Chain A
Amino acid sequence: MEKKIPITIDGREVEAAAGQMILEVARENGIFIPTLCHYPGTTKVGACRVCVVDVEGARSLVASCCMPVSPGMIIRTDTKKVRDAQRLIVELLWASGDHNCLTCEQNGNCDLQNLVYWLELETPRFSIQFPKYKQETTNTMISRDLNKCILCGRCIRACNEIQVNEVLDFSKRGSRAKVGPAFDADYIDSECFFCGECADVCPVGAITFRQSRFKGRPWEIQKVKTTCTYCGVGCQMDLNINNGKIVKVTGNRDYSQPNGGSLCIKGRFGLDFVNHPDRLKKPLIRKEKGGELTEASWDEALELIAKKFSEIKKKDGADSIAGLSSARCTNEENYLFQKFMRAVVGTNNVDHCARL
C-alpha cells in the first residue's frame, strides 16, 4: 500500500495509507496504544474506549481503533486527558468484575491485568461489585465465568464474524448486559459448535479452556507450532505444552494460511489422544495364526509388508492390491501415497476415505 497521508503522532511525523485507522498507524510505528475490544479481522466496534487519543481540533477524545486518519492529523496518545480517561475506564472495568487473579487461568496473559499494571493503578476508586453469575462448567471443553467479562464483545465477533457460527450475542442492557447464546443458555444447550474461538479471543479470564484448568501457568507453557493431524486442511496451531504434555491447543493469528488462527472442535479439543495409554506407538505383528499381536520394530514390520505384497503381486498381479488413504493425511502425503501405489505397486486401485 502506498503511504501517502502525513500525520503526526506524539510529535513524530509519520505516513499512513488512506483508510487506515489511527491505531494501526501507531502500531506500525511502534507507538503503543492499549486496546481491549479491538480484534483484527472483525468489525471495529469502538466499545471499550481504552484506545482513546487526543486529536487536535476534535471536540472530544477519539477512539483510535475506529477513527480513520486524515491528512495533517495531529495526535497525542499520552496526554493527561487520555491517561485520566484510560485510568477511569480501567478502574471501572476492574471494579465491575471478580478479578481475583490468584485463581484466574489467564493470570499473566490478561489484557486487563496488563493494562492495570501499565497504568500503574494501585486500587480502583470504586468498590468491587460483580454480578455474581454462576460459573458455567456444564461441558468439558469451555468454562465461562462471566463475572470476569469486560463486555468487550470479542467473543461475539469471533463467533459471528470469524467462525460465522452465530451463537453468541449480547442480551440485556446497560450494566446488566451479558454475552452468551440465545436465551441465556449454557453452551452445551445452545447451537455452539465448540470451536473454542471465543475462548481464544477473550482478553481476560472470562472464557477459558476447561481441559487446561490448573494444568500450567502461561509462563510455564511452551508453545510448539504444529499442523493439525485431523484433516487435510492443515490448520496451523500452537500446542501448549507443560512438562512434556499438551495442555491445550491455541490458534495463532500470525500463522496466516490456511486457517488464520482459527480451529475446529477436533483440532482444538481432540489432541488429547497424543498422551492416551491406548495409543499405538509401535507396529504389531501377529507371528502365527490365532496367536497374539506382538510389538515389532518398524524395519521388521515394513520388511514383512514388502515381502507379503511382493508375494501377492507375483501370485495374483498388481491389481489384486488396493490402497486406501486417510483424510487425516496431508495433501503431500496423499500424493506420495498414490504415487507409491501406481509407480511402485503398479495399480490404480487407490482411494481415500474423504470421498465416502
Chain B
Amino acid sequence: MKVFRSHLLICGGTGCHASGSLNVKKALVAELIKRKLSEEIKIVETGCNGFCAMGPIMVVYPEGVIYMLIKAEDIPELVEEHLIKGRILERLLYREPTTEEIIPTMQEIPFFALQELRVLRNRGLIDPEKIEEYIARDGYQGMAKALTEMTAADIVQEVLTSGLRGRGGAGFPTGLKWKFAAASPGDVKYVLCNADEGDPGAFMDRSVLEADPHSVLEGMVIAAKAIGSHNGYIYCRAEYPLAISRMNIAIAQAKDMGLLGRDILGTGFDFDLEIYQGAGAFVCGEETALMTSIEGKRGMPRPRPPFPAIAGLWQRPSVLNNVETLANIGQLILRGGAWYASVGTERSKGTKVFALTGDVNNVGLVEVPMGTTLGTIVFDIGGGIPKGKKFKAAQLGGPSGGMIPMQHLNAPIDYEKVAELGAIMGSGGMIVMNEDSCAVDMARFFMDFCQDESCGKCTPCREGTKRMLQILVNITQGKGKEGDIELLEEMAPIIKDASLCGLGQTAPNPVLSTIRYFRKEYEDHIRNHRCNAAVCTALFKSPCQHTCPIEMDIPSYISLIRANRMEDAYKVLLRTNPFPSVCGRVCDHKCQTKCRRGKMDEPIAIKFLKRFITDNAPRPKTEPVPVTRNEKIAVVGAGPAGLTAARDLALRGYKVTVFEELPEPGGMLRWAIPAYRLPRNILANEIADVTALGVEIKCNIRVGRELSFTKLNKNYDYVYMAPGAHKSQKMGVEGEDIPGVRGGVEFLRDFNAHEDAWVKGEKTLGSKVAVIGGGNSAIDAARVALRLGADVTILYRRERKDMPAADEEIIAAEDEGIKIEYLVAPLKIEAKDGKVSGITCERMKLGEFDRSGRKKPVAIPGSAFTLAMDAIVASIGQVPDLTFVPKDCGVSVNKWDCFDLAKGSKSQTTDARFYAGGDAVTGPDTVIGAIAAGHQAARDMDAAIRLAGGEPAYEEPAEEKIIIPLIIDEEGEEAPQGKMPELHGPDRRASFVEVELGFSMEDAVKEAARCLRCDAEV
C-alpha cells in the first residue's frame, strides 16, 4: 500500500458542499500539484462531520488538526503554512464561543470531545464511496457473523439483549419488531429502511447515508436474515440526491463484492434491495403511509392492526426501521448486545443522534449516550446561546415534539424522561430557543407545519389542527379571547387520542407543552396584548417600545434626532417618562435587548440617544397644575416610583405630599448610584420639575418616626408607599458583624451623604477592599471604593456571564483596575483586634443547572483560602425595610419583607386606601421598573377614587401633535452600534466626574440612522 505523509480529510457532506467544500477541494488539488506534493499528501472526501455550521471543514491527519470555514482563497496559505512549514494556521481554527480560546484539534473541541460516536463512528474518517474503507473499519463483520455463525433467533435475541429501540420516533424495541416479523408466516417478507427524514432541521439520516452508507446496508442484511426476508427497499426522499447517489454506489459496490444480492458471502443467503424515492410528504415517514407510497398509491396511513409485521408492504410481513436504527446493527451484532447496552439509562440504551439547531453556538449533529442531560447538550456540546442571550427552551422531537424549558436543563434525555416532560424523542431534532422566542408563536409555527402536512384522511387531524392553528394565529394577532387556552386544552388531548396516525397523535404536543410551561405568555397575549419576546408584531408598533416597561415611543424620538428636532424629541420623551435624563444614563435598557437591528448586527444605542436629547435640547418648561380635587394623597419615599406617582397624580389635579426619610429626594438614584454615573444636578433638575407641578416633598421625615403611621392614615385619603429596598442582605457567614464589614447600599448611602468626609479621608475603608456580589450595586460600591484610593477585588460566586450587573459596568470596572474573582464564595470574615483583617473564601465549580438556567456553583472541598482585607462590602442583594408598617394595620407584608398586593391588582395593597410599588413590592429592580410602578399606581388610585365617586374615567388631555418624519434607508448596511465616548486617564480613577461623555451630534445622527423604523406601517 502506498504511504502518504499526510491525509487531508475534507468534508463532503451536503452542508459543506453547500458552503463550498468542492471548490476548496479543487483548489487543494491544484495547489498540491503546483507544489508537487500530490505523491506525499492524500486528499480524501468524507461524509458529513456533523459540524455543518462551521463548514467547509478539513481535518489534517496524523495531527488531527481541524480547520473550519475554509475558503478556496485560503488554500495556498494553508498548504504553505501547515503542509510545508509545519505551522498551524491559527485563523482557520475553532474558537470557543464564550472564552474565545483557540482549539486546534478535533478531540479537544467540546463539540466533538463530549460525544460518543457509534452511529456516526465513521463520519469524517472514511470515503463513503469506497467500500474498502468501510471494511477497513470493521465494516460488514457484523453481517458476516450474523450470516455464518448465528441463527435468525440468535440475531433477534442479540438485538433484544441490546435494548435498542427504534430511533425513528416511537421508540418501539427493535428486537421485538423483528421477533414478530420473524414469527409471521410467509415466504415473501420485506425489510424496509425509512430514510424519509421530514422534521425541519433534522438531518441525521441524511448524514449517515452520505457519510456511511454501507452501515445501513449491513444493518438491512442482518435484519433480513433475522426475519427471513430476501427483498428490501430504502425509502428516501428525493430531496436527498447526494445520499441517494452514495447509496447507489454503495449498493453496486456491495453487490460486486458479494456482500449483497445472491448468495451473500457464499452462505446461500439472498437479499436484494432498491431505493424508492419519496416525494417529500412529511406523513410518508409514518410506516403505513410509507408502505402505501411504495405500493404506488397516495401516501396515506391506514389503521393498524393489521401491523406491518403481519401484513405490511403488499400485505406481506414487513419490518421498517429508520436509518439510525439500522446503522447501529452492524456494530451491535459484532460486539454483542451487552456491549450496546453498556451505555444509556435503565430503559433507553445506547446512544442517540441529535440535530442541534436554533439559537445555539454550535449547530450540528451530536451523538451522545442516552441519559445525557439537556444542559450538557445545549451548553457543553452546543456551546451555549449566542450573543449572551438566555436559554428559554428546547423543542425536542421536531414539529410535533414538545418544548423543554429552562427548569429542566438537568433532565437526562431518554425516552421516558422526554415523555414525562411532554415532549417526544422523535427522530432527535433539537431546536434551541432563546429568550427572544415567543412560546405562543413557536406553537403556532409548529402547528402550521403539522396542519399543512396533515394528509387529510382523518377528521381530528385534518380539521382539528386547522382550528387549533386558527386559535393560535388569533392569539398571536391580539385577537385571542378568554377561553381560548381552555379550548386548546380540550381539543389537544382529543386530537391526540382520536387521530389515526402518529402525525395527528403528536401534532398538539407543542401547544400542550407551551401551555404547560408558558401559560402566562398565552394569558399575556390574550389579556394584555403583550408579547414579552416582542415577536408577535401584530401586538405592537415596534419591539423596543413594546419592551420598554413604560412603552416610550422610541422610534419617534429617534427619528426626530435624525431630523434634528431635539425639542420635539424631548417632548416625546416627557410624555411617558418624567426622568429621561436619568434613564438616558442608568436605565438597564430592556428595549435594546429586543431591538430588531440586533438581529442584523447590533441593537440601536437607545439609551445613549435618549441621553443625547436631554443633553442637547432645552428642557421643556413645566407649569404648575392647579389642585382641582379634594382627595389628599401622601406618598412615602421620594424615589423614582414615588415621584412618578406624585407627578402623575398632580397632573390629574390632586394635592400630593411626598415624605422622604433621607435629607434629599431621589431614592436610590441619589443615595446609591454614584455621581460619576449620574451627576447630581441632572437628577435635581428632573426632580425640580415634579415640585414645579405643585408636589410637596418633605425630607427628613420617616414614617413611624417623625410622622406616625396613624397620623398618615388619618390625614390622607390615599397613600402610596414606595420606600424602596435600602437594606443589604446578610451573607450569613461568620464574622459578618465585625466593624469594617458593610452592606453595599449602606456604604454607598454613607458615602453619598458624607462625600466630603470620605474624599478628604476623614472616613475610610482602608487600603484593601473586597466587594462581594455581582449586581450593579456591587460594581458601584467597588468603583466608589476604587475612587477613594482602595485596592478593590470583587468576589463573585458564579461566572462572568452570570453576573446580573450590566455588561458595560463590568467592563468599566475592569478598565479602572478592579480585579474580579469568579467562582469564589465567602466562608468567614477574619478579624484582628476587633477589626476586619481578611476574608476566607472557597472556590466554586459549576454543578447542575438551577431554575434560572444558570449552573449552580458548588464548593470545591478543601479549596479554602484567605485574602488579607481591610474592609468587606457585602452587596449580594437588598431588602426593603418595612418596619414602619404596624403589624395589624391591614396592610400585609410578606415573608420576603415586601408588600403583598390585593388579588388582581398591580398596585393596591390589602388595605384599599393604601397602594404600594417599586422595589418594596418587587424586591430590588430597576429604575424604569420603579417609574412604571409609579405610573401604574397613579392610574389605579385615580381610577379607584373616580369609581368610588361615581365619576367618569379620567381622560388624558389632548397631546400636542408632533409629526414624526419617516425616512427609511432602503438597503441598511451592516454597521455596529456607536461607541459612547468616555473619560480616560488618571482623572477617571480618582474623581467622581461623569465617565460617559455623551454622543456628539454626528454620533447621534449616525446612530439614529441605523434605526429600522419597525413602527412604520408600509
Max chain B C-beta neighbours (<10 A), residue from A63, A68, A175: A175
Q: Which residues of A contact B496 (CB under 8 A)?
A: 60
- Is there contact, CB below 8 Å, between A93 and B505? no
Bound Cα distance from A95 to B466, whole angstroms: 12
Bound Cα distance from A93 to B302, whole angstroms: 21
Size range of the interface on A? 35 or more
| Residue A15 interfacial (CB < 8 Å) | no
Q: A67-B305, A85-B497, A173-B454 known; A60 and B459 CB under 8 Å?
A: no
- Is there contact, CB below 8 Å, between B455 and A61? no
Interface string of A50-65 (1 = CB under 8 A from B): 1010000000110100
- Is there contact, CB below 8 Å, between A92 and B455? no
- Is there contact, CB below 8 Å, between A92 and B497? no
Q: A44-B303, A46-B302, A63-B303 known; A175 and B494 CB under 8 Å?
A: no
Which partner residue on chain A sits nearest B306 by CB separation? A68
- Is there contact, CB below 8 Å, between B455 and A89? no
A-B contact count (CB 8 A): 106
Q: Quick one: which of A9-54 are within 8 Å of B by CB? A: 44-50, 52
Q: A60-B496, A63-B500, A66-B303 known; A173 and B452 CB under 8 Å?
A: yes
Q: Which residues of B contact A68 (CB under 8 A)?
A: 305
Q: Which residues of A contact B281 (CB under 8 A)?
A: 173
Q: Which residues of A contact B305 (CB under 8 A)?
A: 67-68
| Residue B996 interfacial (CB < 8 Å) | no
Q: Quick one: which of B321-346 are within 8 Å of A by CB? A: none
| Residue B997 interfacial (CB < 8 Å) | no
Which partner residue on chain B sits nearest A84 by CB separation? B494
CB distance from A78 to the nearest CB of B (A): 16
Which partner residue on chain A sits nearest B299 by CB separation? A173
| Residue A174 interfacial (CB < 8 Å) | yes
Q: Which residues of A contact B500 (CB under 8 A)?
A: 46-47, 49, 63
Interface string of B464-505 (1 = CB under 8 A from A): 111100100000000000000001001100111111100001
Which partner residue on chain A sits nearest B463 by CB separation? A92
Which partner residue on chain B sits nearest A174 by CB separation? B454
Q: Quick one: which of B288-313 are within 8 Å of A by CB? A: 298, 300, 302-303, 305
| Residue B453 interfacial (CB < 8 Å) | yes
- Is there contact, CB below 8 Å, between A46 and B463? no
| Residue A315 interfacial (CB < 8 Å) | no
| Residue B451 interfacial (CB < 8 Å) | yes
- Is there contact, CB below 8 Å, between A88 and B491? yes
- Is there contact, CB below 8 Å, between B463 and A93? yes
Bound Cα distance from A173 to B466, whole angstroms: 12
| Residue A170 interfacial (CB < 8 Å) | yes
Q: A60-B497, A60-B498, A125-B487 known; A48 and B458 CB under 8 Å?
A: yes
Bound Cα distance from A46 to B499, whole angstroms: 9
| Residue A199 interfacial (CB < 8 Å) | no
| Residue A151 interfacial (CB < 8 Å) | yes
- Is there contact, CB below 8 Å, between B456 and A126? no
| Residue B462 interfacial (CB < 8 Å) | yes
| Residue B166 interfacial (CB < 8 Å) | no
Dominant secondary structure of chain B at its interface with chain A: helix
Q: A49-B498, A61-B497, A81-B497 known; A175 and B454 CB under 8 Å?
A: yes
CB distance from A123 to the nearest CB of B (A): 14
CB distance from A42 to the nearest CB of B (A): 13
| Residue A177 interfacial (CB < 8 Å) | yes
| Residue A96 interfacial (CB < 8 Å) | yes
Q: Which residues of B contact A169 (CB under 8 A)?
A: 298
- Is there contact, CB below 8 Å, between B298 and A175? no
Which partner residue on chain B sits nearest A63 by CB separation? B303
Bound Cα distance from A108 to B494, whole angstroms: 29
Q: Which residues of B contact A84 (CB under 8 A)?
A: 490, 494
Q: Which residues of B contact A47 (CB under 8 A)?
A: 457-459, 500
Bound Cα distance from A173 to B505, whole angstroms: 17
- Is there contact, CB below 8 Å, between B298 and A170? yes
Bound Cα distance from A125 to B471, whole angstroms: 12
Which partner residue on chain B sits nearest A171 by CB separation? B298
- Is there contact, CB below 8 Å, between A92 and B456? no
Bound Cα distance from A66 to B470, whole angstroms: 31
Max chain B C-beta neighbours (<10 A), residue from A45, A49, A89, A126: A49
Q: A49-B498, A49-B500 known; A92 and B303 CB under 8 Å?
A: no
| Residue B460 interfacial (CB < 8 Å) | yes
- Is there contact, CB below 8 Å, between A89 and B466? no
CB distance from A259 to the nearest CB of B (A): 28
- Is there contact, CB below 8 Å, between A175 and B303? no
| Residue A176 interfacial (CB < 8 Å) | yes
Residue of A44, A48, A151, A174 near B451 (CB, 8 A) is A174
- Is there contact, CB below 8 Å, between A175 and B498? no
Bound Cα distance from A88 to B73, whole angstroms: 62
- Is there contact, CB below 8 Å, between B303 and A45? yes
Bound Cα distance from A126 to B469, whole angstroms: 12
Q: Quick one: which of A85-126 are within 8 Å of B by CB? A: 85, 88-89, 92-93, 95-96, 125-126
Max chain A C-beta neighbours (<10 A), residue from B454, B465, B497: B497
Max chain A C-beta neighbours (<10 A), residue from B451, B496, B498: B498
Residue of A60, A66, A170 near B456 (CB, 8 A) is A170
| Residue A314 interfacial (CB < 8 Å) | no
Q: Which residues of B contact A177 (CB under 8 A)?
A: 455-457, 462
- Is there contact, CB below 8 Å, between B499 and A92? no
- Is there contact, CB below 8 Å, between A89 and B459? yes
Which partner residue on chain A sits nearest B501 by CB separation? A46
CB distance from A207 to the nearest CB of B (A): 18
Interface string of A175-205 (1 = CB under 8 A from B): 1110000000000000000000000000000
| Residue A172 interfacial (CB < 8 Å) | yes
- Is there contact, CB below 8 Å, between B460 and A174? no
Bound Cα distance from A256 to B300, whole angstroms: 32
- Is there contact, CB below 8 Å, between B460 and A88? yes
Bound Cα distance from A172 to B219, whole angstroms: 36
Bound Cα distance from A48 to B462, whole angstroms: 10
Bound Cα distance from A173 to B279, whole angstroms: 13
CB distance from A204 to the nearest CB of B (A): 13
Which partner residue on chain B sits nearest A170 by CB separation? B298
Bound Cα distance from A49 to B460, whole angstroms: 8
Q: A49-B500, A66-B303 known; A173 and B456 CB under 8 Å?
A: yes
CB distance from A147 to the nearest CB of B (A): 14
Q: A68-B305, A88-B491, A151-B462 known; A174 and B455 CB under 8 Å?
A: yes
- Is there contact, CB below 8 Å, between B498 and A52? yes
Which partner residue on chain B sits nearest A175 by CB separation? B466
Residue of B456, B467, B495, B505 near A176 (CB, 8 A) is B456
Interface string of A121-157 (1 = CB under 8 A from B): 0000110000000000000000000000011010000
Which partner residue on chain B sits nearest A81 by CB separation? B497
Q: Which residues of A contact B458 (CB under 8 A)?
A: 46-49
Bound Cα distance from A175 to B495, whole angstroms: 15
- Is there contact, CB below 8 Å, between B462 and A174? yes
Bound Cα distance from A93 to B463, whole angstroms: 7
Q: A61-B498, A175-B454 known; A93 and B298 CB under 8 Å?
A: no
Q: Which residues of B contact A85 (CB under 8 A)?
A: 460, 494, 497-498
Bound Cα distance from A96 to B456, whole angstroms: 13
Q: Which residues of B contact A63 (CB under 8 A)?
A: 303, 500
Which partner residue on chain B sits nearest A59 by CB separation? B497
Q: Which residues of A contact B487 (CB under 8 A)?
A: 125
CB distance from A67 to the nearest CB of B (A): 7
Residue of B453, B467, B491, B498 near A173 (CB, 8 A) is B453
Beyond A49-B499, A88-B460, 5 additional contacts (C-beta under 8 Å) are A48-B459, A174-B452, A174-B456, A175-B456, A177-B457
14 A-B pairs (CB sep. < 8 Å): A45-B302, A46-B500, A49-B458, A68-B305, A88-B491, A89-B459, A92-B459, A92-B463, A92-B467, A95-B463, A153-B457, A169-B298, A174-B454, A177-B455
Chain A residues at the B interface, C-beta cutoff of 8 Å = 44-50, 52, 60-61, 63, 66-68, 81, 84-85, 88-89, 92-93, 95-96, 125-126, 150-151, 153, 169-170, 172-177
Sorted nearest first, the 9 A-B pairs with minimum C-beta distance are A177-B456, A46-B303, A92-B463, A174-B454, A66-B303, A175-B466, A60-B497, A85-B498, A49-B498
